Structure formats: C-alpha cells, structure tokens
Structure 1
C-alpha cells in the first residue's frame, strides 16, 4: 500500500463526510454528495491496486468512482416526503416509528405487538392496515426500492431465530406483492438476535428486540 493510495482514500473519505454534513445542502444534495465521496474512495482504491501506474491512474480512478457514486446516493424526493407523511398518518398511535435516515431512506420500525406473535411469521391483523397503506405509497412511487429486515430476541438460539426472522420479512414481502408491489423491488433479510436495540435480560427489552424494520430508498439517477 503506497502513500498515494493512503492520501487519495483519506481525501475521498473526508470529502464524503464534509459533503454529507454541509448545513446549506438540502436532503437530495447531501445524499448525492455522500454517494459521490464514497465512490471516489472506491475509485482511489481501484486505481491504486490495479496496475501501479502512479498518481495519474489513481486520480482517474477516483474521478470514475465519484461518477459511479452519484448513482449510489439516495434522493429524498417529493414522493419520498409524501410517503413519510402518509406513513406517519397511517401509523399514528400504533407505536410504529417513522423516520428519515442520514442516507435519505425512509425507515419504519415496527414493534412485535403490531407485526407478529411470538414464534410466528404470519402477519397479525393490526399490521395489515399499515401494510395496505404502505403498498399504496410504493405503487405511487415506482422508483423506490424496499429492504425488509426481521429481528428476534435472544430466546431460542440462532438455529430457530435466523429462519424465523427471515420468514417474518418474507411474509411482509408476500403481503405487499399481493397488493401490487413487484417482488423484485423488495429485498428481505433475517438478522435473528444479532442487532438488539435493548437488553435481552428482561421481558420489556426482549419485546423491543422482536421487531421488523422496513427501509425505502429512491436511488439517485445520474443526469
């Protein structure tokens, strides 16, 4: 690893952090700038490790990476804001948390008392109206993609919890697909008990850890 590589990577990383934190940027600009900075870092890595052609090669790699990064960034568009408002209204009083993430994704955090009974992956009746409204917002925004992540508490061990967490995410995807959302727009993951948000030492903490997280992203389109 040479000094050119180190300098290029550090500069790209600093650019990404600085760009994403600029106070005078709107949400769309921050998402695009962050993606471009990360892309530049990847380009620097590529340039430094694929041929030893000196600083010129590294610089070209960083520029190409920045262009690719602009595609990687997410847009917080008018449609994304409309989705956020619609889901806040649909989930008011249910305990579902609706937020915008730092990388311009819409996040729905759905607790276990809304989504699934203990040890089961079939969708509860009070989760269905939320998913119905969510499907409508997705059909209104065909540029958006979805990631659904299932989580469990630590009871039962990974051999049980891993397939259970994945089955819960898959159940939500199937429900959305039945309401017109193309399944190839939805990625599912199961993370069992590996990412707790509370202690598993008491019932209240375990209940918080049994949850489903849904992320919606609208990728930046390069002009």
Structure 2
C-alpha cells in the first residue's frame, strides 16, 4: 500500500550545491561533535557522515580558531558546510570569509541590530543562506512573559528574527524551531508552516540519551514529514 504525502509548498534556497525547499528532495544534515579546530578529526568524521549518506554538515564555531579552521576543513570534504554561531557576530563574518556554505544563528543572541545587519550583508555578498534557529530554552523575555514557553512564543520569536533579516534585504532564509518536548515542537512547526513559505529544518532539540533521543526524534520528525512539513532534517 502506497501513501501519498502532499508536501507543503516552500520557497527554494541553496546550501552550496544542495537545494532546500521547493520541489527538492528532503535533505539530510548532521552535526559534528569534534572540536572544529581539530581539522583531522573533524574531516575524518565528516567523511564517515558522507559515506552514511549525509548531504550537509554543520560544525560548531565557538571561537575564532574554529572559524578559521573551516577553510582547511572545506578543502577536504565533498558536502556543503554550515557554521553554527552563537553570541559573537564576528565569528559569523569569519566563517563566511573562510568558505562556509551557510550559517545557523539565533539573531536574538548575536547582539544589536547593526551586528545582525553586518552578518546579513556579508552573507548576501557571498551568496549563502542563514538558518534562523530558535530553541524553546532561549526565547526573548518579552515573549516568554506574554505567552510562556509555548509554541506561539516560539513561532513569534522565529518570525521576529525573519522580519529583522528581511529589513536588511536578506531573504535566503530557512527556519528551525525546536523544543525538547515533542508535542510542543510539533505544534510549533504546524503553526509556523501555516504562517510562512520559508523552508523548514525539522528536528527535536536536547532529545536526551541515545535511546530516548532516538525515539523522540523519530516520533517528532516522522510525524512532521508525514504531514508534509519539513524541507531538511
């Protein structure tokens, strides 16, 4: 018995050579757990991920050493690389200049609007997309005060960040909106999918131990994909 799933219509963007959204197949991503500045270990792990079928890889960029290592890592891998940056916008700028194919940021913790603008301007110049990543545990205080830690607060937080990037004429955006609670995550994505045509990266954050994390992720991601929500995972 075949199951016909009608996927949500979304805008298409590109992460390096990989298309996300539109009519493109759902792309599989993973993240390294190495120190990014340890180039041999990072490259070795990415090669294993490539062999397993990973199409896009994300690396942590907690400091300038990691940002600068992206150049060497990129020279030795065959799939697009996304830099995961928090707090310091200068790390995002350095990662772009080092050859990252995309960024994952939370504009709310990058700093003042002018710093977000600097990142958006350079990303547009280099032609790479930004993933707005919102987690239930780091929502803006005003939204938490008004809505609590709820799907509504998560969606409003994500769309607030998107509007900020749009105000800087940046439009190559995808969104992730995650909570450790599967039901909260599901409802947040459903609400978000109804309010924007931007491509969505689906997943469950802080899923827990190997066993519980696998169950939570499979349940959450599986249900969203069954409902036609999700362009990459």
Please state which structure has a larger fraction of its residues in helix: 1
**TM-score normalised by length of structure 1:** 0.34
- Larger radius of gyration between Structure 1 and Structure 2: 1
**TM-score normalised by length of structure 2:** 0.33
